[in-house]
Structures are given as C-alpha cells and as structure tokens.
Structure 1
Amino acid sequence: MREKRYSNVTRYTALVVIMLVVFAVIIGRLFFLQVVKGQDYKEQSNNKSIREIPDIAPRGKILDNKGRILATSSQGYMLVYNQADESDKVFFPTMSRVFKILDDSGESQQDDFELKINPFRFEFKSDDEKTRTNLEIKFKRDRGLNEPIEKKIKSENKNISDDELKSMVNKELLKISPKDTFKKLVKQYNISTAYSLNQQRRFMIVKDALKMQSFSGYKPVTVASNIKKDTAFKFLQMLNELPGIDVTTQPIRSYPNGDLGSNFIGYISKISSNYEKYTEKGYDVNSDYVGQAGIEGAFEDRLKGSKGGRIVKLNKNGRITEELGKREPYPGQTVQLTVNKDVQKAAETSLENTLSDLKSNPNQMTGSNTANATRGTAVVIDVNTGSIVAMAQVPRYDPNSFAVPGKLSSEMYNQYFNPDLEQFGKNYIESRGITANYPGESENEVLDTLFPIDKSIKNNSTIRKDVYDIYPKPFYNYATQSLVPPGSTFKPMTAIAALESGTITPAFTVNDQGFFDQGGKIVQFKTDGPQGVVNLITAIQKSSNPYFMTVGKKLRDAFGDDILAKYAWKFGLGANPKSSVKPATGIEIPEKYGQVYNTASNRNVYADTYLWKTMSILKNGQDDFGHKVVTVDLYDRNDDSNQTTATKNNIKTLIRNSIKDGTSSFDRSEYKKLFSELAVEDPDNKKDVSDSQMDNLINVIYSITISDAHAQLKVPANIENAAIGQGLNQFTPLQIANYVATLANGGTRYKLHLVKQYLDPNGKVIEKVNPEVIQKTGISQDNLQAVKAGMSAVNERGTAAKVFAGFPIGTAGKTGTAQSLGNQEQVGRTDYAEYIGFAPSDKPQIAVAVVLFDGGQGGKGAATVARDIYSAYFTSNGTLTGQNSNK
C-alpha cells in the first residue's frame, strides 16, 4: 500500500515537473517573440515594412542593318516615394518640399495622370473616341467612383442583372464631369482645398499612384523620372529630412535619332488596353510601360527582358534599412533591322523638302493645286531578299516624348490624339478659299460638310470627323495602312497580264488621240493630250491611258472580268478572296492589304459603299434627288439594346444582299417587317410610320441598291478603269513596292521583312531571318524584259526624264497620277503623285515606291524622292559613280 502511494506521488511530481518545464519553454518563447524580436515581427506583420521592389529590365536595343542604334535604354536617376506609417503622417509637407526642390532644379514631376486641369479634361492616348470612352470608364471604376452608384441602383432595382447594372453604372459614370471627378478624388485622398489647384493635382498624382499600385502590392511610386545627376545628389543629401523619399536608378528608353523611322520603330507607353493579357504575363498594368505600334509593339516579348527585384525592409519613415534578397533583371533581346539609317534619313529629308516645295508653290503643275501636300511615304526594298531598306513618311512623331512619363505636353497630346478639327477645318477652308466651291453656303456649312459632327456618338455636339482624309496623322503608318489607287504605276502590271495571256504582243499599237470611248461615254485626257501611235514600250514611256484602257477591254472580251486579277495576285496586288489564307506581305508590323479589281471583291465593296450611302440618306431624311424620306437611324450606338442592335444588323445585311444580288434579294415584305420592328424597339427612331411613308422608304432603298449600285457591277468600264490603276484598285504603298521588286528581280515574290536578326544582350546572334519566297510567278522573262524596257524609257526619255537626266546609274520606273476623291478639287484636295522604280536597271538591287498625298503629278515630286533615295543607297554602298549609264 505504501509502495503504491509512493508510486502515485512520484508520478504526480514528475507530471508537475514536466508541466513546469513546458510552461517555462512557452513563457520563454513568448518572451523571445514579444520582447526580444517583438519590434522585428511587428514590422514584418505590417505588409508595408517588407516589400519587393521591382527592378525594371533594360529594354533591348533596336539597331539598323549596320548595327547603328535606333532605340536603346540607359540608366536614369529616379525619385521615388515609399509609403510607410510615419512618412504618410507628413506626406503633404514632405511633398511640398520635394516639389519646390524639383522646380528650383528645373525638373518635372512625373505626370502620366490622365485627369488634367485648366481646363478640366481627360487626356487618354488614343485617337479613337470609343476607346477614350472605355478608358474614362475604367479610370473612374479603378478609383471607386462606381461604388456609390452601384449601391443606389441596386437599392432601386432589386432584381437587376449584372449586365444591366454594369451598363447603367457606366452611363452614370460618364455623366461625372472631369471637374467633379477631380473634386471627388481631392476628397478621397484627403487633400486640403487650401492648396492651389495646381498643388492639389500634384499631390493627387502621387496619391493616385499609391492607390493604383496598392492593387499589386505596396511598391514605391515614381515622383520624378530621369532627373539630372546633380538633382539626384541633392535629394540624397536630404533624405533624412524627407520621410519616404528615396533616389534610385531605372532604365530609360531613348531614341537618339529623334523621329527617324518612328512610323516603323514605334514607341513605349502606359498599358491602356488588354489588361488581362498583360496581367497574365506578369506586368503591373498600373505602372509598366509596353511597346506600342511598330517594332516596339510587335516584339514586346523579345524586347522587354525579365524583371528583377529586391526584397527590402523599410523603417517607419519608409527608408530601406536592409536588403533581404535580390533577383537581377535580365535585359531584353536586341532586334537588328534590315533598314539602312542613311537611306532612311535621305528618304525622310527628301519627302520633307519635296512636300514643302509643293505646298509653298501649289500651282506649279497644270491642273493640280498642291497646297495640301502635307503627307507622303516612300518604301525601299532589296529586290533579292525582300528586306525593307527604308520606310519613310511625313508626318512623324518623336517617340522620346512617350519614353519619360509627363514629357508629352498637352499641345502635343491634342495634335496626336485629340486634334481640334473644328479650328483646323476653319483654317483650312479660309486659307484655301474653299467656300467659293460651295456657292451660297457659309463657312460653317462648309465646315459641317468637310468635318461633320460625328453623329455615331450619342449626345455629341463637338467631336468632328475627317471624312475626306485631310488632316495629317503622325501615328498613322501611311506605308502599311493607307490604301491608295496606284494610278499609272499599275500599267506595267496590265502589260504583264496582256502579254502573258497572249492578248497582245509588244508590237501591238493603238492610236492615242487623247480620249477613250467607254460605251458611248467619251473620257478625255486633257493633261496628257494625244500621244499618236504607241506600242507597248512607248505606251509605258508616255503613260498612254487610251492604250491601256484598250488593252483592258481586250482582256475582258477574251477572258472575262477576273483576268487582270489572276496575274496581279501573283505580284501581291491583292489576293483571291476565295482563298482561306489571310493575305499579307509578311511584314512584321500591322498592315492592311489592298485588292485589285475582281468581281467578288467588287460586289463586297459596292455593298459596303452603298450601304453607307443608304444609311446617310436615311439619317438625313432626303435622297440625292431631294426627295423626302422618313428618317431612320441605322448607325450603331453604345446605348442600343441587344434587340435594337440585332434588328439594325439584319436591315444592313438585307441592304448589302440587295446590292450584291439584285432583285433576287430585294424582299419588300422583309424590309417592312424589320423597319416596323425597329420603330417599336428603338427610342431614337420614329414610332409611327404610315404605310405610304413605309412604301416611300423602301422605294428609296430600291433606287439606291438596285437601280444604282447593282446596275454598275458588271459594266465594262470597271476593268478599263482598273487597267490604268483607277476604280477598285487600291493598295498600300508597301504592296506596290513589293510588286515592283517582284517585277525587277525576274518574277520572284519574297516575304517582306524589317528584321535582319535577333541578338542576346551580349551581341551574340540568337536567330537570323533568312529570305523567304512566297511565290514564283512563272512570268516569261521575255515579257518581263519588254515591260522593263518600257520602264527604262520612262526615265530616259519619258515622263520622269527631266528628274533623272544626268543620273550616273541606269534606272527604270513608272510615274503615276491617281485621283484621290471624286470631288477632290471641291474639298481642297488633288491627285496622288506616285512613282515606282528600280536600280540599277540592268541588274536591279533595290525597288522604290513613292506616294505623295495631294502631290499632283508623279513625274516631278515623287520621282525626285526616288532619285534622292538611289543617291543615298548607292553612296552608302560605295557604288555611285560619275558616269551616266542612262545614256
């Protein structure tokens, strides 16, 4: 019994001892955690004390074909603000001092904040109104302005769907003016209105950046970018006086040649679309910059590099006290282009000088007023590889303006993205005296004709459209995006089709009397005048329209309407619309692709063109003959319901089909049914339409679609006009240059490319871009030689002989003049001046295509640009001699 009691006591004692030891360990650990390491863990528990600070990778270089820098990145000093409890308490006095130091040092605060003042407005970097609207909605949603609106709408509409809620909220957000948005943010960011308006906005820029970057973790925000070294050291000496402020370095994108090649190089800018795509790729959509347009945009994945980062510890003043870990950034790849910087510069300079001369001396060419010669482009191709040697244009832009946030001034922003077309239009009309072309109309009425209010934007009374393509657009790549009629530069293509099909021989002649009979309609060519009897070579040399219209007629009579297209497609001038392959030149940057005349495309073009005409007539309530018709709005609007949109689309499809298929697709009962539905569904359209009004409406549509549009689809004039480069024929200057290169090299069409090779950051080649053949045309060399002989005659004794007189290298070419618009002179525009060519003529190396918008005839200005390009290219290659081999 005693032994048992002793055993229990022993066990109890042992248990107590164990418990005491356990409690001692726990108490000791708590003392260690709370007292010894308490401050450290307190800081770590606050997600603001330990942060990962991203280190942006230097963006890869862009080089020309000889390795000369077109775009690069260099380290620049950057002033940042780290948010912390103590620094936040003195944010306003601290930032006030910072702003004064920046101002006194001649520095600028980083400012890519889209909400501006004086006057209050938004500046979103897009020239598309719909995109700007979407960006405004996102701006306000990101800052929580949608939340009280949503709460109110939900309280009033208990069963509202998510889509309906979003739509209603967006409408209400757009009603918040820029000024009211500013006021709401002033309140949200606790900014005192005692500060001046300018000071309020300066604080707001930093506060807003903090809010936006908090979505992806607490990071330092940039206060000023690319500051001078002296300014950086000034701040470094004052860090203890400026809680939260620090100086660091970051790669800054730079373009040492300014605007040289900006149309294909592109620029970098803040992310403004495709947010989900960039987020998935690891971008911070609130602060990261990405390539926009050109090479910068097309090769973003190669150029961007890999971000690095530092895990750091901050003290209560936002100062880095310890670096806990680091991941080095890795620079992006270098993209070396095929472009020759010297040839590019020569092409740009020649375009500028030529256009300036045409604009300053607008009446130097008979029948042309070149006062609006503000735009032009030139493309140069290596005929044996498809490499782009130069792609120049006027106007351009300086991508450096976008590389540093805030460098883009409001004046530049408006010029690029939000031009005042009303003021521009008034100046244009007054300087050109265009009101004289509109008898009885005031200047404002003419303004509304040339630059009408964009009625597709609901409740819009200020935003105008450039419907006649008058305003020069720096961000528009005229070489790859602009579709222009080729004019007489297409005649060598017509000659190839006729020779290859056996329709004519080089000896075929026509007596050019200065006119052509198009089925009873006499087309006069007053500028050219009679050329007499011409064969193939002299017809190309003298650019005889009657000769090539006769050839077009013969082609149609023998082989039908699509014979010209059959051969043009081989040279990249359009593509078979029935093909499943997306047509392209191969260029790495975005492009449009024009089409040659063919019956399938002709139907589609007429369907679109006359649909727009129908919509305009119905919107205005009057047809071309002055007959009144009930007004119907078929334009798409942001606030259309899904049912209204569907009904409008069904009506538009019916109109297109009527144009393409004629009476077989004109269903009066279906038109009546759809218009009746639209009258009920759409509040913007008339509710009550009488039977007589409905009949009149359908009759007007019949007149446009059947009597006018469909009747024109198969007239012989279509291919006759196409044979001289007019009518449906429209191509980009890039396509035209590729066609010339294919002709020059003997019939091999190469894939066009801007990129020569890709290099790693150390300059080692990763991948070369080799020439790639798209198609062997199989054209007879004898036929090609006959066409080339005609093109050589153009430069030796034809329409470009004056320009190339005395040039030391043999060249071949073709001038072109193409009508820009049917009413071009009335609206103040004139013909496109065009030139195509290649050199040397006996063994071609490069091909050139030049287009001057509103440049008049191609035999002067456009040919001059080509000559200057040849001079630069052959000088650069060291092959230009003093001997004139043209003679």
Structure 2
Amino acid sequence: MKLQEKKKISRFTALIIVMTVIFSVIAGKLFSLQIVQGAQYKEKAVNRSIRQIADPAPRGNILDKNGNILARSEQSYTLVYNQTDTNDKKFFTTMDKVFKILDANGESQQDDFELKINPFKFEFRSDDPETRKNLEIKFKRDRGLNEPIEKKIKTKNKDISDDELKKQVNDQLLKISPKKTYELLLKKYSINSSYPMEEQRKFMIIKDTIKMHSFSGYDPVVIASNIKKSTALKFSQILNDLPGVDMNIQPIRQYPNKELASGILGYISKISSTDTAKYKAKGYDTNSDYIGQAGIEAAFEDVLKGKKGGRTVKLNNNGKIIQELGTTTPKPGNNVKLTIDKNVQAAAEKALDDRMKELQSNPYGQQRSDTTNATRGAAVVIDVNTGDIIAMASRPGYDPNLFSVPGRLTSEQYNQYFSPNLEKFGRNYIEKRGITSLYPGKSETDVLNILFPLDKSIKGNTTIRQDVYDIYPKPFYNYATQSLIPPGSTFKPMTAIAGLESGAITPDFSIDDEGMFDKGGGNITHFYLDGANGWVNLARAIERSSNPYFMTVGKRIRDSFGDDTLAKYAWKFGLGADPNSKTTPTTGIEIPEKYGQVYNTVSNKNSFANTYLWKVMKNLKDGIDDKGNKLVSLDLYDNANDSDKVKQIKKDIKNLIQSSIKNGSKSFDGTKYKELFSELVQEDPNNKKEITNRQMSNLIDAINYTTVSDANSQLNVPANIEDASIGQGLNQFTPLQMANYIATIANGGTRYKLHLVDSILDSNGKVIKKIKPEVAEKTGVSAENIAAVKAGMEAVNEKGTASGTFADFPIKTAGKTGTASLGNQEEIGRTDYAEYVGYAPLDKPQIAVYAVVFDGGQGAGSAQIAKDIYTAYFKLNQNSTSTTSTTQSQN
C-alpha cells in the first residue's frame, strides 16, 4: 500500500502564519509597555527621572592651641540652575528675573569667570606672567577658539607637524584681544547683543560654566552662593516660576579673624582649569568643589575635606526635586588643631604693622636709612622646649574670605595681589628717593628698566615688569618661610659658639676694638656708625655688637681649623646644611619653606659660579670686557627658537665657564672654548658671524680674566669667613631658621623639629593623632659655652644695643640686635634689614623670638616687636601692646 503524500503548505497559508506571529509579538510588546510597565513609562513620557545628588561635606575646622576657631565651615543658601532642554528654552527670561531679584536684595552672582569687562581684560590668579599667558591660551582653547585657526593653518599647510601647528595656533590665540574673545563667546552662547553688557556677561557666566563642565544627571550650576536667608525665602516662594532654578544649602568656608594668620592658614578656592584632570582622578567635582590653595588648607587638604553624602531624588521635567527617596549623610572633615596662640599671633602682626607704620611716617629718623618702604616684615615665636610654633607672622597679609565665594575679589584687589602696576609703583618709588640722581646720564625710564625690568621671557612684552629686588610688598608671599635674609649681627652668637667649641677663643679672649678691621692687602674696613668700643671680651663684644671682635674670631677659626669650621657648627643649629648631604634640609614645618645656607666652600663655589656666569654672559652680549675693551658680541642667553644642537652648545659653554670659575687655571681650556664658540657661530642663526683669530683670542682672554683672575681668586680669601662671622656675605636664612637657632641656644643646645600642627581631631573633638616633640639634633655644645654666649645676650637687653627697649621690662630677657645690608642697596633704594632675636624668661626660657622689618633701618628698632610679643605671651598688659618709638643705639 502506498504511503499517503504529505500536504504542502501554500504560500498564502505561510504568509498568514508569519503575519499572525508578528502581530502577536507586537501585541505582546504593546501589552508589556502599556499595561505591565505603563506607569513607569508614563513617568518617562513626562521626562521625570530618579537621580543622585551629591551633598558636600563641611570642611573641618582649623583651631588655635586653645581651641579658638581660625577657620570653619558654615551652612549657607546657594541658588543653582539645572540645565535641561525644557529649561534652556526659557533660559534668558528666567535668568533675567533671577538677576533682578539678586540685585534688588544686594546679592552678587557667583563670578570666577576670568574674562572681565569695563575694561575688557583677563584676570588669572597668578603673579607669574608666563603662567598667566599659558592660562589665557588654555582659556581660549577650552572654548574652541583654536578650531577655526587650526583649520585655516592646515588648509595652507597640510603637512605641518603637530608641534608646529600647536605653536602657531597658540601665537594666534594670544593675538585675540579680551574684547574680541568676549564678542566670539557672545556669538557662541547665542546671547543677544540687545541686552546691556553687564547683563550679557551675567548670562555668559552661566552659559560658560555649563559649557566647561560635562554635566550628567543632576549637576547644577551655581548662580549665587552665601545668599541671605531673606533672599533665599523670596526665591523659595517663586521657584515654580523659574524653570531650572532651585535652592540648596551648602557649606561655605569662613575665617572669622579675617587677615589673622593668613600666611599660616592659606585659603580655599575653586579648582583651576589646569588642575581639573588631577582632581577629577581623586573624585572631586571640579565644577563645585573647593580645595586648599596655600598654607594649612593646602597641606592638610586630605584631612580637612570630609566625605560627601548624597540624596536619591525624583525630578520633574524642569529639573526640580519633587520627591526625596533616600539620603546618605555627609561626613564632616577632621579638625586640625595648631600650636599657634591666637592672641600672640595677633600681637605679633600688630607689632609689625605698628612698627612699619612708624618707620614710614618718620623715614629719616635713623642715620643712613630711608625707611619709606618699610612695608614688609616677619616674626616667629617658638616654644624652646618643644618646637611648637606659637606665632608666625608675615606682613602684609590678606583676607582669606575673599576667595571662599567667587566674586568677592574686586578688580582692584586682584591687581594688588596678582598683577600690580609695577611701572606706576616703580616711578613713584624712584621719584620719592631721588634714585635717578645715582645714575648719571640715565632717565627715569632707564632707571625703571633697571629696578623693575620688563619680563624678557614674554616675546614682544612692553608692559609686564618684574620686581627683581623685592621692593613691592606681596601679600601672598610668606616672608616668614620663604625669604632668605642676611642675618647681620644676630648671627654673632653663632660665631661665638663656633669659636668657643673649636677652641679658637675662650670667653676671656679680648681685642682692642678701634672701630675698624684690617682684611689685609691694605683693605681696611671702617665701622663709622659703630665707633670704637675699646677693649672687649666675648660678653662685651656681644653686648656692643663689635664687628672687629667677631671678624677676628672668624679669622682665628679659619687659620686654625679651616674655612668650613664655622659652617659645621652652624649646621647643628639649623643655619644651613651640608651641601654634600643627600637629604633635603628642612625645619620640619608642614607648609612649604625655603632653607638658607651659611658660608661654606662648596656653596661659595656654586654661588660664585652662578653670579659670574651671568656676568660673563652679559659682557659677551654687550661686546665688552671687564676692562672696557671691545669684544666680538655673542649671545649665550636661551632663545625660544634655539635648535636642540644650539641649546646643547650653549649649555656646554656655560658649564665650561662655571668650571673655570670653580677650578681656576688648572681647568681653563682655551682650545675647548675656541671649539665651542666656532660651533656656535656656525649653528646659531642669531650668532652667525665670522670671528678672526685675534677676536677669538681676545674673547678667550676676557673670559680667563673674569673667571680665573677675578672670580676664582676670590673663592679662598679670608674675607669670606670674616664677613660671614658678622652675618654678611653668603649667609642667608629664613626667619623660621633664625628663630629655631635662638631656641636651640635658649634651651641649652637641643634643636627640635618645628611644627605648626598640635593634633588632628575628628568632628566631635576626639584626638585622632597627637604630634609629639621631635628632636632634630643634639648639638653637643658644652653648658659652659652656652652660658658664656647667654651672658652676652643678657647684657644686650640690660645695657647694650636693646637696653632702650627692655630697661624697664618686668621679665628678664636676652637677645641680640642685627642690622643687615644688601651689597647694592643704595643704588636700588633699599635700606638695611632691621632684625632682633631673643628669648624669655632669662632663667628658664619658654619662648624664642625673631623679628625683622625689611628696609627697617637699624636692628634695635625691631626689639620693640619682640617686647610686644612677650607682653602678649606672658599676659603682662592685655589692654595695650604699644610700639611707642624709642631712641636706641646703633648696632
């Protein structure tokens, strides 16, 4: 029997089956969308969303040693704008209403936008012209102003390298004026020119902030922060009429004492555009987070910053919160308790300000001084038994509150801090001192170009000047930790210790001080202001600050024990460090510092090598030698257009010059000089020329004279250590180093590491970490020798150069005055540094003090600053810390 054949499915039937399946899938999907997930997609249809909102953590407090608040965070009202497509359609109308309400209630828009108007200019927070130039380039690149320039350059030169393209684009970007930049951004952000310019810029700030940050989810732009409660209430009542606008509560940093301890505390501000990537990698929100920018705020950023919280919220289509679904509480930052005593710090700052004001009002009250520009100073107070820094004043200071909220810093303050008009300041400085008369044949402009030269690192610069002689007062420069100052006679106790410990002298060693010192070779130095002190032993020499005595001690140390003996003892007291050591020298302080050096043969060679290298380079460029003879001109200065080969040739020549200075005739290689100069004129277009054999010979002879006959011959003369013995010459230290050196003498010879931080506390005040005193070095100086030096320092305050200040002081103290000079101070209009070091009480020292006024004249005047500090520390007269002028003897 045959099998029955299978029925074939017709095409029509197959089509019906396929269509049935498709419609079934569609029906199922529609059922799922409309019935199963209908509610969810209904919310999405009206653009509602669930988002995470970060809640910033309050920054930890900074406290003084007694628990007084120096920096804190307080909750404040912040007005924000949340960008959505819906909100952006009404952006200009909404913001116009917002700005009017802010203005009517005396509130300011948050404004850290670097492009200013009236007049058009950029304000970048840096006092370095090169940094400001780079920030301007980045500002314009970040906003896409480079794109049309790149396109145009590539059209003309398709084979241009990336490096050359970048260079050409940057050059073109710098040619775009602030005004033109503003006009380009108006167009980019579609801001109607019919609005007044002030309002245009307000719109631009919001639009630019949106542009400059990648917003995802609920990431609002701050419109205004730290607004009053009454203003916040007004906004809260009309938020429904302001699409995208909302009110938040955020912590704002406050410094209740304003300028007090600003050099210690530092400040916080928004993350700069150059640091965006760095802090993004650390989890910061670069749109809204603030970071420490100096001082303790920067050094302890990780301790103070806290941990953010957050909220899970539901938003409507205008970006407003309609429901809060969950929260995570922010964790406040830890507190940092300092060793600083607020009252002593205030006394130190006031004493400096009062003394400087007095010196400015009576600029010719001291012989050989013009204290018109006594505008900078520092004072450091140390617990001699722990290394705690009780006060550290740097003047002038600044108010850190100016940076807590963008927009507080006015253009005038910006210019004062970051971009001072050094031409105007310099001309006034020159005229008041009659400095032009010291430069025969030169105009005021010529002298201005010497004292405040144009910054040559900026191509074509005709306006930006440099303060190369530290004349202009700088609020952000910490004079206590960064300034390297010749110590003058305040160094003499150190010379005494080196002389006693080495055996070069005894306390009874005496000389007849005739008011002069013979350096040999007919070089006799006269100390006319000091006069002759007659026969002096060690104690009397410290009391009267006898220069001939201590120069004699220095000479005896050198003759018997070598040039580096003084340095070896000074290093024990933190006055410099062995240059051959591989460790980085430090006082121990937690914030950045410089570290000065005492005279020693290695540093002396390096110093001469640097100084005379620049002298040789200048002579070669000017085409003249030290004797006034003409030379063939060669430029060894770095040039931006130098090829790698030219850079290397110049480097080799400079190294050869420095080697000649350091090692003298034994390393002078005339053949090598000839070879390198020949290569330079062949390879460098800027030095392209023919040099005859005679010209080459004259060139090499001139370099030999300057490097060998002049510089190298001075390296080992006795005058180096003789000058160092009275605190001049190579000796330069920070106020911090000087205070620690005196503290080491005061406590009997133990040098402690200095520290500003006493402890780290959690937000409830519980101690997390306590900083214990740490010994940096036990000097090993005998008690007898320490006592001999202390006896002289006691005499200074009892009957010596500071007796006019301390004669009637109720607590016995010891100290030393110092008047330190700069080598060229007369020709640049500068005056001596007025310095004082001391400790108190005499029998059981508790604190050591160093005080200095730049251009302050004679050192005895700074003893009053120490007296006011003692008055505050020992609570002798809490209602008065007068710095009444006293007539004191010349140091």
| TM over 0.5, shorter chain | yes
User: In structure 2, which of residues 32, 45, 48 is the aligned counterpart of residue 29 of structure 1?
Assistant: 32
User: What per-residue deviation string (whole Å, max 9, x for no partner) do you get for residues 44-76 of structure 1?
Assistant: 7x9xx5544332211111100000000011011
Q: What is the SS of the residue equivalent to 1:385?
A: coil
User: In structure 2, which of residues 44, 51, 54 is the aligned counterpart of residue 41 of structure 1?
Assistant: 44
Q: What is the SS of the residue equivalent to 2:385?
A: coil
Partner of 2:886: none
> Is residue 64–residue 337 contact of structure 1 (8 Å, CA) maintained in 2?
yes
* Aligned equivalents of 1:623, 1:464: Cα separation in 2: 28
Between stretches 29-38 and 745-754, larger displacement belongs to 29-38
**Are residue 586 (structure 1) and residue 588 (structure 2) matched?**
yes
Partner of 2:54: 54
* Aligned equivalents of 2:498, 2:404: Cα separation in 1: 49
* Aligned equivalents of 1:301, 1:24: Cα separation in 2: 58
* Aligned equivalents of 1:25, 1:428: Cα separation in 2: 88
CA-CA distance at 1:18 after TM superposition: 9.4
* Aligned equivalents of 1:546, 1:465: Cα separation in 2: 38
* Aligned equivalents of 1:220, 1:84: Cα separation in 2: 10
Partner of 1:544: 546
Q: What is the SS of the residue equivalent to 1:243?
A: coil
Partner of 1:334: 335
Between stretches 102-111 and 17-26, larger displacement belongs to 17-26
Q: What is the SS of the residue equivalent to 1:720?
A: helix
Partner of 2:869: 869
* Aligned equivalents of 2:23, 2:832: Cα separation in 1: 101
Counterpart of 1:466, as a letter, is D
User: In structure 1, which of residues 779, 784, 788 is the aligned counterpart of residue 786 of structure 2?
Assistant: 784
Between stretches 565-574 and 238-247, larger displacement belongs to 238-247
Partner of 1:775: 777
Task: Give me the TM-score of the superposition, normalised by structure 2.
Answer: 0.93
* Aligned equivalents of 2:600, 2:760: Cα separation in 1: 40
Partner of 1:394: 395
Q: What is the SS of the residue equivalent to 2:687?
A: coil
> Is residue 130–residue 457 contact of structure 2 (8 Å, CA) maintained in 1?
no
User: In structure 1, which of residues 659, 662, 669 is the aligned counterpart of residue 664 of structure 2?
Assistant: 662
> Is residue 342–residue 876 contact of structure 1 (8 Å, CA) maintained in 2?
no
For residues 325-404 of structure 1, the aligned pairs below 5 Å read 325-404=326-405
* Aligned equivalents of 2:36, 2:408: Cα separation in 1: 50
* Aligned equivalents of 2:156, 2:218: Cα separation in 1: 37
* Aligned equivalents of 1:606, 1:33: Cα separation in 2: 86
**Are residue 279 (structure 1) and residue 280 (structure 2) matched?**
yes
Unmatched segments (≥5 aa) in structure 2: 881-891
Partner of 2:223: 223
CA-CA distance at 1:249 after TM superposition: 1.2
CA-CA distance at 1:572 after TM superposition: 0.4
> Is residue 303–residue 335 contact of structure 1 (8 Å, CA) maintained in 2?
yes
* Aligned equivalents of 2:198, 2:624: Cα separation in 1: 51
For residues 103-502 of structure 1, the aligned pairs below 5 Å read 103-214=103-214, 219-272=219-272, 273-502=274-503
Change (3 A) 1:156 1:218: farther
> Is residue 632–residue 691 contact of structure 2 (8 Å, CA) maintained in 1?
no
* Aligned equivalents of 2:21, 2:194: Cα separation in 1: 67
CA-CA distance at 1:4 after TM superposition: 11
CA-CA distance at 1:197 after TM superposition: 2.2
User: What per-residue deviation string (whole Å, max 9, x for no partner) do you get for residues 324-367 of structure 1?
Assistant: 54333211110000000000000111101111111111111122
Change (3 A) 1:461 1:633: farther
* Aligned equivalents of 2:665, 2:528: Cα separation in 1: 39
Partner of 2:856: 855
Change (3 A) 1:399 1:621: farther
**Are residue 653 (structure 1) and residue 643 (structure 2) matched?**
no
* Aligned equivalents of 1:231, 1:199: Cα separation in 2: 20
Q: What is the SS of the residue equivalent to 1:596?
A: coil
Unmatched segments (≥5 aa) in structure 1: 881-887
Counterpart of 1:186, as a letter, is L
CA-CA distance at 1:525 after TM superposition: 0.3
> Is residue 65–residue 756 contact of structure 1 (8 Å, CA) maintained in 2?
yes
* Aligned equivalents of 1:497, 1:80: Cα separation in 2: 66
Counterpart of 2:720, as a letter, is N
* Aligned equivalents of 1:741, 1:27: Cα separation in 2: 85
CA-CA distance at 1:432 after TM superposition: 2.1
> Is residue 499–residue 505 contact of structure 2 (8 Å, CA) maintained in 1?
yes
Q: What is the SS of the residue equivalent to 2:88?
A: helix
* Aligned equivalents of 2:244, 2:102: Cα separation in 1: 16
**Are residue 824 (structure 1) and residue 841 (structure 2) matched?**
no
* Aligned equivalents of 1:421, 1:751: Cα separation in 2: 39
**Are residue 67 (structure 1) and residue 73 (structure 2) matched?**
no
Q: What is the SS of the residue equivalent to 2:859?
A: coil
Q: What is the SS of the residue equivalent to 1:454?
A: coil
> Is residue 53–residue 220 contact of structure 1 (8 Å, CA) maintained in 2?
no
CA-CA distance at 1:696 after TM superposition: 4.2
CA-CA distance at 1:199 after TM superposition: 1.9
Counterpart of 2:721, as a letter, is I
Change (3 A) 1:205 1:525: same
Partner of 1:841: 842
* Aligned equivalents of 2:630, 2:454: Cα separation in 1: 22
User: In structure 2, which of residues 762, 765, 773 is the aligned counterpart of residue 763 of structure 1?
Assistant: 765
* Aligned equivalents of 1:389, 1:161: Cα separation in 2: 58
* Aligned equivalents of 1:242, 1:828: Cα separation in 2: 60
Q: What is the SS of the residue equivalent to 2:185?
A: helix
> Is residue 831–residue 857 contact of structure 1 (8 Å, CA) maintained in 2?
yes
* Aligned equivalents of 2:216, 2:163: Cα separation in 1: 27
Counterpart of 2:453, as a letter, is P
CA-CA distance at 1:168 after TM superposition: 3.1
> Is residue 213–residue 287 contact of structure 1 (8 Å, CA) maintained in 2?
no
User: In structure 1, which of residues 707, 710, 718 is the aligned counterpart of residue 709 of structure 2?
Assistant: 707
> Is residue 609–residue 662 contact of structure 2 (8 Å, CA) maintained in 1?
yes
Change (3 A) 1:778 1:60: same
> Is residue 543–residue 792 contact of structure 2 (8 Å, CA) maintained in 1?
yes
> Is residue 458–residue 637 contact of structure 1 (8 Å, CA) maintained in 2?
no
Counterpart of 2:73, as a letter, is S
* Aligned equivalents of 2:198, 2:649: Cα separation in 1: 50
Change (3 A) 1:790 1:96: same
* Aligned equivalents of 1:636, 1:136: Cα separation in 2: 24
> Is residue 626–residue 702 contact of structure 2 (8 Å, CA) maintained in 1?
no
Partner of 1:884: none
How many residue pairs were aligned? 872
> Is residue 51–residue 219 contact of structure 1 (8 Å, CA) maintained in 2?
no
Change (3 A) 1:565 1:829: same
Partner of 1:754: 756
Counterpart of 1:566, as a letter, is K
CA-CA distance at 1:133 after TM superposition: 1.7
Counterpart of 2:815, as a letter, is G
Partner of 2:719: 717
Between stretches 659-668 and 189-198, larger displacement belongs to 659-668
**Are residue 561 (structure 1) and residue 563 (structure 2) matched?**
yes
**Are residue 100 (structure 1) and residue 100 (structure 2) matched?**
yes
CA-CA distance at 1:137 after TM superposition: 1.8
User: What per-residue deviation string (whole Å, max 9, x for no partner) do you get for residues 134-175 of structure 1?
Assistant: 211221121122223333334444444443433333233222
* Aligned equivalents of 1:7, 1:337: Cα separation in 2: 97
Counterpart of 2:289, as a letter, is D
* Aligned equivalents of 1:26, 1:697: Cα separation in 2: 93
Across the aligned residues of Structure 1 and Structure 2, the Cα RMSD in angstroms comes to 2.7
* Aligned equivalents of 2:408, 2:830: Cα separation in 1: 35
Q: What is the SS of the residue equivalent to 1:466?
A: coil
Task: Give me the TM-score of the superposition, normalised by structure 1.
Answer: 0.94
Between stretches 442-451 and 732-741, larger displacement belongs to 442-451
Counterpart of 2:804, as a letter, is K
* Aligned equivalents of 1:723, 1:700: Cα separation in 2: 33
CA-CA distance at 1:191 after TM superposition: 1.0
